[in-house]
Amino acid sequence: MCRVIAEPLRGPLVKVSRATRCDGARPVLAAAVGVTLGALALGLANPAIAQAQEEGDLLTHGITGSVPANTPDTQSPGLVLSLKRVQELLLEVAESPRDRSHVEAALAGTEITPADLVAMHSLREENGEYVIDFTFLTADDQRLVRDVSHRYGRSLAEAHLQRWPEIEETLSVYHMEHVDQRAVAFVLLGCFSLDWAGLRLTSELGYRGAREGWQYYLWAVEKRDEFSVKGFYWGGHSEYTEDLALTSFGDHFALPRYGLPDLFWRMQGSLRHVSAPEEVRSLLRQIGSRQLDPLYEQVMDIMMAVRSGEKTAEQLRQVAGTDTRQTQDLLRLLEELEYIRQVDGRYAAIVPVFAEADRPMVLELLRIGREAMEPWLHENYERIQADLGAITPLKYGVPYIEVFNQIWHYIFGYANQILIEEDKFFDPYGGTRKFEGFVPVVWHRSVVRPG
């Protein structure tokens, strides 16, 4: 599933979380761009909505799953949840259930009805009143969630620390002279295991998922300055070719990321804002996409080549299939982004790269990670539910397996932070990299399956 965050395109929280390439389509800032353009289109089409569709800045919100293409605008989660009136209404309903007259009055002028909010799984009618029907966390909820997640995140980190001699022995077979071994551990355990494999495991165990028949479910959190996402390492952004993948993994504080595929996504996304008729913009996007596709392949081929050792510019030119000028430009870009560096006139990787030959090591680490996570989940899953019983969604009967999707991100995000503090993982804010908040990785698709 693709988990995306929809927000106005203006602040450090504009982000794509869990944005692996969904159904073969590159996210290109995912819902964030679509929400803004969708709202404008709806407003232009209907002046009544335009008058009442002041954009809100009270919530961060998003979805897990995919919204059907034929969903009407008045039930489109990204659009509806971006409206200030809807955000204010949700905060009111979170405080206490509201009757139909109150909900209708709050939505007046938007053309959104209470039935629309029910259809998009944000509210539920119960005993003549409307209650919250999704993972909606108020400021008070977030304080509790963060406190509980910190405790359980430390416990989850300790479950991994108990296995660390075994983890270190497994990692010892990975040899890249200029790559920090802690960055390798951060990617393999923090991203591949805790995030991707952890999401699969929690789903397999029946601990996380959507309600029967639902194609997506919503989440939203009340914005407050006190709730920084710095150091919550839970976000992998990935792009694929047939055999290889580019990923950046880190928090969603240091955005936009100056890494790949993020920069290429922004290049393509910028074409959406070219001042030209829509037919022209559409053609430019198509041309831009075709121009970017070879770049992905060339970058990945270069990085895979230096996995086996330092290479000359000429050797990398032959691998990438580019001319001398193109090769120079690509190598300068990768140097500037700190993917490679020159060593005695040759180029060496300085970020993790995993080739097919690394698959046995990766699988062994995923096995260790699963053996750490599975008993931990069995022991703590219901305890976490009890500790969080007072939060808004559980109070109003939202299924715990749906709420746990968000809670798991908080917990493993904290666990990653603690493993950094224990000097087992690379610190993306440690001052050794120019661009902070994430670690890049290039990998062969045979070594792991994204969550």
Question: According to the model, what pLDDT value does residue 46 have?
Answer: 54
Given the DSSP bridges, would you call strands 3-6 and 216-222 parallel, antiparallel or unpaired?
Answer: unpaired
Question: According to the model, what pLDDT value does residue 47 have?
Answer: 52
Question: According to the model, what pLDDT value does residue 213 have?
Answer: 85
Edge to edge, what strands does the sheet with 216-222 contain?
Answer: 3-6, 59-65, 216-222, 135-137
- CA dist list (Å): 158 to 168, 187, 374: 15, 18, 14
* Alpha-carbon gap, residue 428 to 433, rounded angstroms: 7
Question: According to the model, what pLDDT value does residue 61 have?
Answer: 93
Question: According to the model, what pLDDT value does residue 18 have?
Answer: 30
Question: According to the model, what pLDDT value does residue 50 have?
Answer: 54
Helix, strand, or coil (residue 221): strand
* Alpha-carbon gap, residue 399 to 174, rounded angstroms: 42
Question: According to the model, what pLDDT value does residue 16 have?
Answer: 31
Total-model pTM: 0.86
Question: According to the model, what pLDDT value does residue 286 have?
Answer: 83
- CA dist list (Å): 101 to 90, 104, 108, 132, 251: 15, 5, 10, 16, 41
DSSP single-letter state for residue 102: H
Total Cβ atoms within 10 A of residue 194: 28
What tokens appear for 23 in the block? 């159904």
Question: According to the model, what pLDDT value does residue 9 have?
Answer: 27
Tens-digit pLDDT profile for residues 36-74? 334 434 444 555 445 566 888 999 998 888 888 899 999
Q: What is the mean pLDDT, run by run of 10 residues, along the chain of 451 residues?
A: 36 30 31 37 49 82 86 92 96 98 95 96 96 98 98 98 98 97 98 97 95 89 94 94 96 95 90 82 82 92 97 97 95 98 97 98 98 98 98 97 96 98 98 96 95 73
